[in-house]
Amino acid sequence: MALAGLVGLVAAGQAAAEVTILAFGDSLTQGYGLPEADGFVPQLQRWLDANGGGDVTLINGGVSGDTTAGGLSRIAWSLDDSVDGVIVALGGNDVLRGLQPSDIRANLDGILTEIDTRGLPAILAGLPAPSNYGKEYKAEFKAIFPDLAEKHGAIHYRSFLAGLGDGRNMFQVMGLFQSDGIHPNAEGVTAIVEHIGPVVLELAGRAR
């Protein structure tokens, strides 16, 4: 009986150590244009399983076309009791629509505030600052992500797409996108995952 009780305690401890992370984003997170197995969340799950994150389970909270306003409207009900940490990757669709950086900032601030109320750690993933709206817009947009990460104690990840450019020339980078030039192909997602994977392990460590 004593041995059985000890085994039960060990099993309970192992269960308690499991970490669930919500990947909360738009089509880049959702896996737009790809077979399900090639999307960001399934590829990241496999990377984690192979690199010391076997106790981490990912939830795909990506909604294609979502903006930061859309994310703010759904973050509360997305954070059920199973979630231990969050990857926030929103803002690309706001930029495509030319929405104001002040509104993007306010929405992301609201999302992170809701995550804070649950006492959860987070990654805030930025995006390349656009140039087509002028220097002032670019500077304001670029500042959003490090500023809010610092305010909320989140892990700042400079760009969700960071893995696509590191060590590659322009033609190699172009070969990592689908025909729309916006969404990464399966190989591109693999590059993204390999770059962000260690940061997600850091998030899991905070969640534990």
Catalytic residue selected from 84, 152, 159, 183: 183
Strand 122-125 with 85-89, pairing? parallel
The whole-angstrom separation of Cα 208 and Cα 199 is: 14
Q: Is 179 a catalytic residue?
A: no
The whole-angstrom separation of Cα 63 and Cα 69 is: 12
Instruction: Name residue 184's beta-bridge partners.
Output: 177
CA 83, 40, 129, 168: dihedral to nearest 10 degrees? 140
Catalytic residue selected from 81, 131, 179, 180: 180
Catalytic residue selected from 26, 27, 152, 159: 27
Write out 61-98 in H/E/C secondary structure: EECCCCCHHHHHHHHHHHCCCCCCEEEEECCHHHHHCC
Q: Is 183 a catalytic residue?
A: yes
Identify which of 162, 145, 163 has the alpha carbon closest to the alpha carbon of residue 154.
145
Positions annotated as catalytic residues are 27, 180, 183
